[in-house]
Amino acid sequence: MKNMFIIHGYQATTESHWFEWLANEMKQFGYSTEIVYLPNANQPNLKEWITAIQNNLKNKLDSETIIVAHSLGVITILDYLSRLQHGPTIKGLYLVSGFNEQLKNLPELNHYISQTQIDFHNINAQNIVTIAGSHDPIVNIEATDRLSRELNTETLHVSHEGHFLDSDGYKTFDFLKDQITYSLTKKTSRIGS
């Protein structure tokens, strides 16, 4: 079985938003999905979250692995992946409402964010997709665009006035699923093969 991991964000749980729906949808593609529990989501601690991710992902990353992260989970998984020495190149990294900078409307996260040390050169994924809502009141689309530039990709803009939360109507997320499944079915060509 291939592995997919979903990394939730600030004030979320493993049962929030579209996480369980996506996990169930990916079964038909041969993926076993783990929605990683991150402790104290209302008062996140970077060390605790990195430890939880390490405990769940250690020795499970390979060329078929997919990681999906949302909001604060994005900067956290990027920090984790960039710390891996000679980490494997995973199949895909799908980042929803991501950022790697302090947010004006969430100053309570400034300390957490300032502790991250992302080395973008150590992020190894065959596919990196960033998705942002056109009118996200929590993470401005420009913050996601800046993150995308650091990752050498372009943000996929979704016409949406929200943060892709269940309270915004996002109990399912077909656009995200379509991005993942497209990368699973597309044929890649390599020079010399």
**Residue 190 above 50 pLDDT?**
no
**Residue 193 above 50 pLDDT?**
no
* Mean model confidence pLDDT for the chain: 94
Q: What are the two backbone dihedrals, phi and then psi, of residue 87, each rounded to the nearest 5 degrees?
A: -65, 150
- Alpha-helical (H) ranges within 99-188 are 110-115, 141-150, 174-185
Mean pLDDT of all residues in 5-24? 97
Cα atoms in the 13 Å half-sphere on the side-chain side of 17:
26
Residue 90 belongs to domain with CATH number: 3.40.50.1820
**Residue 136 above 60 pLDDT?**
yes
Residue 98 falls within a domain, yes or no? yes
Residue pLDDT, tens place only, 40-67: 999 999 999 999 999 999 999 999 999 9
Residue pLDDT, tens place only, 76-126: 999 999 999 888 999 999 999 999 999 999 999 999 999 999 999 999 999
Residue 130, beta-bridge partner list: 95, 155
Neighbouring CB atoms inside 10 A of 187's CB total: 4
Residue 193 falls within a domain, yes or no? no
**Residue 27 above 70 pLDDT?**
yes
Residue 191 falls within a domain, yes or no? no
Residue 119 falls within a domain, yes or no? yes
What total number of domains does the chain contain?
1
Residue 192 falls within a domain, yes or no? no
**Residue 189 above 50 pLDDT?**
no
Which residue matches tokens 């992260």? 69
Q: What is the domain range of residue 155?
A: 2-185
Mean pLDDT of all residues in 156-183? 94
Say which residues have a Cβ less than 8 Å from residue 45's Cβ, sequence separation at least 6: 39, 112
Cα atoms in the 13 Å half-sphere on the side-chain side of 190:
3
Packing angle between helix 72-83 and helix 46-57, nearest 10 degrees?
A: 60
Q: What pLDDT score was predicted for residue 187? A: 55
Residue 190 falls within a domain, yes or no? no
Nearest to 153 by CA among 176, 181, 126: 126
Residue 53 falls within a domain, yes or no? yes
